[in-house]
Amino acid sequence: MIQDKSRYYFWLKGYVGFMFKLSYRKVEYHGREKIPKDGAIIFAPNHSNTLIDPLAVLPIDKQAKVFVARADIFKQPTILKILTFLKMLPINRMRDGMDSLAKNEEINDTVVKVLHDKVPFCILPEGTHRTKHSLMPLQKGIFRIALQANDTFGNEMPVYIVPVGIEFGHFFRFRSSLLVQIGEPINVTQFVNEHPEWTAPKQINELKEELSDRMKDVILQITDDENYNATLELVQLNNKSEPSLINRFKASKETIKKVEDLLQSNPQETQQLLNHADEFSRQRHNAGIGMESILSSNIQWSLISKLSLLLLGLPYFIFSAVVTSPVTLLSIWIGSKFKDKAFLNSLRLVVALVLLPILLLLLVPIVTAVFSWEWGIVFALLFIPSFFFLHSYLRLVRRFISDIKWLIHRNLLKQFKDIKKRYNYWILHSIIIKYKLEI
């Protein structure tokens, strides 16, 4: 059975979890205490970054988890064996045709057995990924599974759907930041018992709406597609250098809410503000200026400190670039064949997971044979963090160049100050209006 324990799986899970954490400069998990202990768990994360999303769910607790993935990648027998070992099940989608959807009944039966054995199950309810801070409409598959599980063993233990919010500092960059939040669980068994008169379609629609609301609580939800970039720019411009990811998330949610309220109370003026923010965003991206440079309180000192770190780390960067070049070159070559940039981080991680141990096992004996076993140990210790240091160094290079460009493009500074002034004015204006209405 796919949910059976395997020592090899747990060894691999530990390795993957370690490498996954190293792939991010900063990782925070919040709300683990909300996960129920008395029933079957279905994790429901948002889907914005392909393979990275389920990998972000995996370390929520120490338990193994069973996942589903689109059925077309299971066609090759070798791939099927690998994915089954990784506790992944195939699921057909509407786009695969109505005939293929019938095969999901067998998969659903397997998932119910997994849940009955109290092994957590994870499904991405949006059904497809999108690299945006917003939730797409949820598909019905997760609710059919939950209701089927409840029908099968709901009298023995409750069935829960647990929303999970995954937020990335950057969708496409390696060594970015990752925030994972556990939302308020939905007790499906209690829900069904409270509404025995509802038909299955009505139960699904109500659960769908409830889960959607709870998922939106733990992700950044920018619903205005027309002003998406402008709203995101205002969010980032109003994010101070907050070291805590959860505090940054809360501040971002607050800014989004303020923009939405301003669009309701002062639509014309707010739209002008959004237009300015959109133009500023376009110009700074074209110039290659990062938000960290714009929000820096002392850009000259920032440049000096970055230059010092770059010079200090240059020898190890050269070493890292050389010894991990097979990983980098293979990632670039395979990545060039993908049109969707959302796959790039998943690709880098998978290539690193496979190739880095092979390179270590190949190069250490060579260094030991050419020099000595002491040098072999030194090489191994230098090699292990090299790939992740490489990407951290490249990030520092990008930020250093961005700082220089921000100093050069001083014309953008006036726009930046104007946007901040307009935003603060209309926030204050709306507070005054609200206060007058209340009294």
**DSSP string of 127-149?**
SS--SSSSPPPPPSHHHHHHHHH
* The last residue of a domain, from among 189, 217, 245: 217
Residue by residue, DSSP assigns 146-183 as HHHHHHHHTTTS-EEEEEEEEEES-SS-TT-EEEEEE-
* pLDDT of 439 strictly over 50: no
Q: Are residues 172 and 85 in the same domain?
A: yes
User: pLDDT digits over 63-76, tens only?
Assistant: 889 998 777 777 77
User: What per-residue confidence (pLDDT) applies to 305?
Assistant: 94
CA distance 68 to 12: 18
Instruction: Indicate the DSSP class of residue 275.
Output: H
Mean pLDDT of the chain: 88
| Residue 435: band (very low, low, confident or very high) from pLDDT cuts 50, 70, 90 | very low
Is 385 domain-assigned?
yes
Q: pTM for the complete prediction? A: 0.90
Q: Are residues 121 and 17 in the same domain?
A: yes
Q: Are residues 77 and 150 in the same domain?
A: yes
Q: How many CB atoms lie within 10 A of CB 96?
A: 15
Q: Are residues 310 and 433 in the same domain?
A: no
Write out the residue range of the structural domain in which residue 281 sits.
228-289+411-438
* Greater pLDDT, 376 or 242: 376
Instruction: Read off the pLDDT of each residue in 385-396 and give the average, rounded to a whole number.
Output: 94
Is 2 domain-assigned?
no
Is 223 domain-assigned?
no
Secondary structure class of 45 (helix, strand, coil): strand
* pLDDT of 385 strictly over 50: yes
Q: Are residues 34 and 159 in the same domain?
A: yes
* pLDDT of 240 strictly over 70: no
Secondary structure class of 199 (helix, strand, coil): coil
Which H helix or E strand runs over 394?
Answer: helix 386-408
* The last residue of a domain, from among 217, 237, 256: 217
Q: Are residues 94 and 190 in the same domain?
A: yes
User: pLDDT digits over 142-191, tens only?
Assistant: 999 999 999 999 999 999 999 999 999 888 888 889 999 999 999 999 99
| Residue 242: band (very low, low, confident or very high) from pLDDT cuts 50, 70, 90 | low
Is 222 domain-assigned?
no
Is 294 domain-assigned?
no
Q: Are residues 137 and 170 in the same domain?
A: yes
Q: Decide: 28 and 99 in contact? Cβ < 8 Å.
A: no
Instruction: Read off the pLDDT of each residue in 364-392 and give the average, rounded to a whole number.
Output: 94
User: pLDDT digits over 109-146, tens only?
Assistant: 889 999 999 999 999 999 888 889 999 999 998 999 99
Instruction: Read off the pLDDT of each residue in 42-54 and give the average, rounded to a whole number.
Output: 90
Q: Decide: 400 and 293 in contact? Cβ < 8 Å.
A: no
Residue by residue, DSSP assigns 289-304 as --HHHHH-S-HHHHHH
* Greater pLDDT, 240 or 152: 152
CA distance 236 to 251: 10
Distance between the two ends of the chain, CA-based, in angstroms?
66
Number of domains in the chain: 3
Instruction: Read off the pLDDT of each residue in 315-343 and give the average, rounded to a whole number.
Output: 90
User: What per-residue confidence (pLDDT) applies to 108?
Assistant: 86
| Paired tokens of 400 | 């250093």
* Greater pLDDT, 256 or 346: 256
CA distance 185 to 39: 11
Q: Are residues 400 and 312 in the same domain?
A: yes
Instruction: Read off the pLDDT of each residue in 192-220 and give the average, rounded to a whole number.
Output: 94
* Greater pLDDT, 96 or 333: 333
* The last residue of a domain, from among 169, 184, 217: 217
User: What per-residue confidence (pLDDT) applies to 417?
Assistant: 87
CA distance 41 to 64: 12
Q: Are residues 56 and 193 in the same domain?
A: yes
Instruction: Read off the pLDDT of each residue in 344-357 and give the average, rounded to a whole number.
Output: 89
CA distance 430 to 421: 14
Q: Are residues 118 and 175 in the same domain?
A: yes
* pLDDT of 98 strictly over 60: no
Helix, strand and coil in the chain, % to nearest 5: 65, 10, 25
CA distance 54 to 114: 17
Q: Are residues 308 and 425 in the same domain?
A: no
Q: Are residues 209 and 132 in the same domain?
A: yes
- Residue 22, domain CATH: 3.40.1130.10
* pLDDT of 438 strictly over 60: no
Instruction: Read off the pLDDT of each residue in 360-366 and give the average, rounded to a whole number.
Output: 95
Q: Decide: 266 and 258 in contact? Cβ < 8 Å.
A: no
User: What per-residue confidence (pLDDT) applies to 102?
Assistant: 62
